[in-house]
Amino acid sequence: MKGRSCLILIALGAWLAAAGITAENARAFGIRVGPYAWCAWWKPAFEDWMLRSSFTRRHLSRMRAGYDFKPSILYGPVLTLDFTNRINLTSVFVLGRYRLRASVAESLTINNFIFSHPDISINKYDLDSTLNIILNPSFKIFCGFKYQHYNYSKVDLISIPFYSFQFLANDTVMYHGVSAGAGAGFIFKLTDSFFLLWNVSLLYQRPIVIIKQKQYLIISSNVYPLNERIMPDYNALGVNATLTFSYVFRKISTTLALGLRYQYLYTFGNDVRGIDFDKNSDHFYGITLAAVYSYQTVDKISGGSTVPR
């Protein structure tokens, strides 16, 4: 704990030293704000577990048909505070909803199958905050914080042929991912108003995964509850990359940005009772669009960095 406190104090001191609050820097203060949207495809680390019924294990054979997990538009605000010509803090918050549908047949034995039709709604939101230090008009470094959240519920009603009982299960999953990361960005000035930005960063994430399982064994008219709360222990390493074209409309102090973004997370840790996210990966990729209005921003150095991240 003391080590963490020392690191925080060192980082804060380095930031204050870099900021160099002078009269000239104070005049460079500005605010940039606007809407941000990300049309994102998602291949989740929990896909295999989500399609499996609550009463089977990974090694059983499975057939699936009609799998449908369309991309979603995540949207929200972007806010940048320019402390100096070279230092700014950018935060982006987005939220959205995904829906997964499929038809699945799982084998218990050669003759016995479980049939299910998952239809799952997933709520997701992300918060990204980065402190950017622009070393020259073409290069910057940054460090930051990321919070990633999603939650969903899945309901299984399982009838097993040749047996006189049923299972009813309602699993609720909540994922809270807290990340720290650092990276670098390259700014290419194509014209006086047109820029290309490429950012890449590495991140470490410490997820908190909470799974509440409400299960019921139904025999004739009798119902037997089998409730459980599970918290697997995971870590994640990943990379985040963006490639963005931005055009600055100086007369109206607005930047329009269109780009691509890819995020990868590799999950590893200790699975618990059939909850097997270990050694699985999250893939997010898609198209971003932002319109950012600038107020009293000095832009000689930052150029195209009016674009989020």
Residue 286 domain flag: yes
Domain residues for the domain of 188 are: 26-152+178-206+238-306
Residue 54 domain flag: yes
Residue 184 domain flag: yes
State yes or no: pLDDT of 91 exceeds 90: yes
Residue 279 domain flag: yes
Domain count, the chain: 1
User: What distance, in Å, lies between the first and last C-alpha atoms of the chain?
Assistant: 31
State yes or no: pLDDT of 130 exceeds 60: yes
Residue 224 domain flag: no
As a whole number, the mean pLDDT across the chain is 79
Q: What is the pLDDT of residue 192?
A: 92
Query: Six-digit token pair at 207?
Result: 């997820």
Q: What is the mean pLDDT of residues 229-250?
A: 91
Residue 93 maps to which CATH number?
Answer: 2.40.128
Residue 171 domain flag: no
Q: What is the pLDDT of residue 206?
A: 92
What is the tens place of the pLDDT at every residue in 15-64?
444 444 444 444 568 999 999 999 999 998 877 766 665 555 554 566 66
12 backbone dihedrals φ, ψ, rounded to 5°: -65, -40
Asked whether 167 and 54 are in contact (CB, 8 A), the reply is yes
Separation of alpha carbons 36 and 257, rounded Å: 9
Residue 299 domain flag: yes
pLDDT-derived band of residue 243, with 50, 70 and 90 as boundaries? very high
* Amino acid in position 79: L
Residue 59 domain flag: yes
What is the tens place of the pLDDT at every residue in 132-173?
999 999 999 999 999 999 998 877 666 655 566 666 777 788
Q: Which helix (H) or strand (E) holds 76?
A: strand 72-82
Which has the higher per-residue pLDDT, 225 or 14? 225
Question: The whole model's pTM is what?
Answer: 0.77
Q: What is the pLDDT of residue 108?
A: 60
